[in-house]
Amino acid sequence: MTENTATAPVAETDDSQPSAPSGGTRLFRKIRSWDGLGLLVVFIALYITLSLLTPDFLTASNQLSILQNAAFFGIVAFAMTLVIVSGEIDISVGAMAALSSSLIGVFVVKQGVPMILAVVLVLGIAAAIGAFSGAMRSYFGVPTFITTLALYLALRGAAQLITSNFPIPIASGEFFYWGSGRILGIPISAIYLVAIGIIVAVVARRTVFGRSVYAVGGNAKAAGLSGIPVKRIKILVMMISAMAAALTGLLQSALLSSGNSTIAVGLEFDAIAATIIGGAALSGGKGTVVGTAIGVLFIAALLNGMVLLGVNPYAQQVVRGAVVLIAVVVNVWRTRRQAIS
């Protein structure tokens, strides 16, 4: 009697199925899909062009100068990223910086307040003004553009009023160091810029608050229904913006060794332009600190290059205005294209 043995079928392999992409391929696809790639290419082209036009552009001292100048609007631009991502805007930051500079002079020189306490008071006042802007939006429905436009006029006027529109000299070597000092040859203001950029990036992407900002900017109604405190988020981002502007005002005061009501003219436009150039959507819900950082360096390098090339200062203002306009046009075009696709 013979035994019938069954042989188990052998599974056939299908070599036609696509294999998983390698790490290098995934990285290449991620780079290609990055929204800031075009800006990075333009930024590199700008650097190459300026280095060919003026030999002093690529020197180490000039690059450190670019970083130092970038800090005075870059710090505000990082905070502005959160504001614009949340669907709001703040055009009072320049006036806020001027008021902060004036206040530090009045507190320290005229009132005899210790420097540390004066700095805390200035930041606290800035936070209160920012909270006011956010509350007007959250509880009274007043657009932040309108509120901050009013503050743009009022804060600059207040700064001129308390200083009689004259600088207030601050005789403090330590205070001067915090605006113009260097650590290992690097301007301390540039170190502030990098540190604050890292902090904002971590907050934006790694915290509940940061994710809530994106949710509110993307769809405030849906964010509220999901339990996100929309009103509180809007107030907080406006407070952060005002405090960043105040910090910039303090840095410029330290650099000039005086409280000055005439500083930071046009600061709001540079900060907003850098944020929009970096890919933030004016409609809210989109934007990155990395993109803003590239936008900041782009504007700082452009302004520095124009100075080295001897471009007329009035013509520089024309270029700055054109940069803001182009940034807004590109932002609107990009938003519409993504809506269609």
**Is residue 252 domain-resident?**
yes
Residue 196 lies inside a defined structural domain of this protein = yes
Residues 92-126 pLDDT 10s: 999 999 999 999 999 999 999 999 999 999 999 99
What total of structural domains would you count in the chain?
1
Q: Which residue did the predictor score with more confidence, 39 or 132?
A: 132
Q: What is the pLDDT of residue 32?
A: 54
Residue 11 lies in a domain: no
Percentage of the chain exceeding pLDDT 90: 71
Q: What Cα–Cα distance (Å) separates residue 151 from each residue in 8, 61, 74, 95, 333?
A: 82, 37, 21, 8, 30
Predicted TM-score (pTM) of the model is 0.87
- Read off the CATH number of the domain in which 137 is found: 1.10.3470
In a domain, 31, yes or no: no
**Torsion angle, alpha carbons of 44, 46, 52, 56, to 10:** -100
Residue 95 inside a domain? The answer is: yes
Domain that holds residue 150: 61-340
List pLDDT tens digits, range 225-244.
999 999 999 999 999 999 99
The answer to the question of residue 269 being in a domain is yes
Most distant CA pair in the chain, distance: 118
pLDDT digits (tens, 9 = 90+) for 295-311: 999 999 999 999 999 99
pLDDT tens-digit series, residues 123-136: 999 999 999 999 99
Distance (Å, whole) CA 96 – CA 249: 8
The answer to whether residue 44 sits within a structural domain is no
